[in-house]
Amino acid sequence: MCGFAGFSDYSDSLTDEKYLWIALARRMARRISHRGPDDSGAHVSAHCALGHARLAIIDPENGAQPMTVRRDGAEFTIAYNGEIYNAPELRSELEAQGYVFETNCDTEVVLNAYLCFGEDCAEKLNGIFAFAVDDVPRQRTFLCRDRFGVKPLFYTLQGDRLAFASEIKALFEFPGVNPVLDKNGICEIFGLGPARTPGCGVFEGISELKPGHTAVFDREGFRDRRYFDLQAAPHEDDYDTTVRQVRELLLDTVERQMISDVPLCTFLSGGLDSSVVTAIAAQVLESRGEKLSTYSFEFEGNEENFRPSSFQPDRDESWALKVSSALRTRHTTLLCEKEHLEDSLFEGVIAKDLPGMSDIDGSLLYFCRQVKKRHVVALCGECADEIFGGYPWFHRREMFDGAHFPWSNNLDTRSSLLKPEVLEAIGLENYVNSRLQETLDAVPVLGNETPEQLRMRQISYLNIKWFMSTLLDRKDRCSMWSGLEVRVPYADHRLAQYVFNTPWEFKCPGGRTKGLLRDAARGLLPEDVLERRKSPYPKTYDPAYEQDLKRRLGYVLRDSSQPIHKLLSEEAARSLLTESFDYGKPWFGQLMAGPQLLAYLLQINYWLLHYNIYVRL
């Protein structure tokens, strides 16, 4: 796990001013040094410069980057961020074809896979990854990103030059790349945020290589290619066979993702998803004579202030302790105090380079920082709800019927926040509807499905392409801010592809939410844990926190020099200061209710200010 940045120019040579360009590559990588605090490096060839910040997990003594190999007199250099879970098998396959390895790290496996298979190397990789290869003999730069976008990779074209980086902040070190917010960017922030359109970097001129895509940049320009997407196929297994297949895939992917030469733990909420991952991981470590460490998260004051809702029916702490006791893990409950939550609100913006899930991001930043004190790698239960259909909008017709994103079905609330003249200029509703329709048009179908079957396939595809990407982005940015690597077994592409074609009546047998996953995990956990109702990532219910957000937003509204005044309807914003919020009615996802809307607006204002963003209407 690492961070990298670089740039390429095939119309001019970088050799004459090599030291200038290598300094720029180092400066870009230094902006994301939090992703890789263990080591750094830089590389410049005639047409490509790479900078790298390393978090050493596999073969810490070796594997420094950028890594160069020479084959048939030619040089190939890689800057890589990720983990390859099938590296041992792929290494053996490459060795059989004559490739020689000097390290045990997966970076060398990825680079040799590129040498062997060229642009098709991505299809050989099982893991989470983003990387750039300086292909000197072909005079091209090759970019690649994992199938579901667990690892980020942004880029921008500046005349004849391509600049790229793991995070947007590194791109702003490149000459000519400036933070500009145009009409589309405003629509992203106010109409879709904290989600983002796949491939969109929000800032004008900045894009993100889409999940499941590769790209080539050379004298002919920039060309990207999709190498992976979910495919529609008939599901021919009966229910019992499906249960066995899901169980086998889960056992395999969790064990694969436990590869590490540094301390490993799991996030354990006591919910189904994290408990299954923890049970398998504990079983694997126990067979080695080792004990698993687990962490759960809680907020100061929630014991007195928690308010159950259909989205969050109960608290996690007692469940996490129950699972830990059953699995004999070494468990720690981390407590986030109100002061830590307040302090991390704006830190989350810098970590993501964008407004995000406000205090939910902030608390995860804090928790990851605490976990990193003892561990470098963690496994989590993220993505199970998208894959197995666990969210409320899979089950409540009022949430998934109609032309809207199921997790964000009230555009009126969002629209009301903007000045009328801004709203008219940007065409918010058309923009959001177009992004929705583009995704629906891309849904793979069989052609013989009933309207109900088709709708459930659409909801699954929307969730994987949008909501899952949002949470993966949040997980990566909040964890890597402290140099903590968090892995996501449920995002294994084999599991996702298999379950995507599983009939809804298998995923939710007899109306039992995620019944397929529960049956696949039978015997791994206590029965009541297997049947626990879904409860999402925790958030604070402290009324003092809501009042503090209102106070802060009030200061911003009274200060006409604050940048959000260019966009925000002050009347709508002021009404929020007197509103009594219903915590059970989120405006985004399951957690983003009224207080999180206040926090989101504060984040937008801070973002505009901190990055000195020019708003172009």
Partners of 9 in the beta sheet? 161
Surface-to-core class of residue 167, CB atoms within 10 Å of its CB (0-12 exposed, 13-18 middle, 19+ buried): buried
Q: Which amino acid is at 549?
A: L
* Structural contact between residues 388 and 513, judged by C-beta atoms closer than 8 angstroms: no
Q: List, by residue number, the catalytic residues.
A: 2
DSSP symbols for 413-428: HHHTTB-HHHHHHHTH
> Shortest CA distance to 316 belongs to which of 95, 539, 158, 497?
539
* Structural contact between residues 369 and 378, judged by C-beta atoms closer than 8 angstroms: no
Strand ranges, E, within 293-403: 293-299, 330-336, 377-379
Secondary structure of residue 145 in the 3-state scheme = strand
* Structural contact between residues 524 and 531, judged by C-beta atoms closer than 8 angstroms: no
Surface-to-core class of residue 403, CB atoms within 10 Å of its CB (0-12 exposed, 13-18 middle, 19+ buried): exposed
- State the Cα–Cα distance between residues 336 and 364, nearest whole angstrom: 9
Strands 67-71 and 221-226: unpaired
Partners of 157 in the beta sheet? 162
Q: Which amino acid is at 126?
A: N
- State the Cα–Cα distance between residues 43 and 50, nearest whole angstrom: 5
Strands 154-158 and 207-208: antiparallel
> Shortest CA distance to 222 belongs to which of 488, 7, 520?
7
- State the Cα–Cα distance between residues 460 and 442, nearest whole angstrom: 12
Which distant-in-sequence residues (6+ apart) come within 8 Å of 103 by Cβ? Answer: 59, 62, 63
- State the Cα–Cα distance between residues 281 and 429, nearest whole angstrom: 45
Which distant-in-sequence residues (6+ apart) come within 8 Å of 24 by Cβ? Answer: 7, 49, 173, 174
- State the Cα–Cα distance between residues 467 and 382, nearest whole angstrom: 11
> Shortest CA distance to 321 belongs to which of 380, 379, 269, 375?
269
Q: Give the per-residue SS3 of 428-461.
A: HHHHHHHHHHHHHHCCCCCCCCCHHHHHHHHHHH
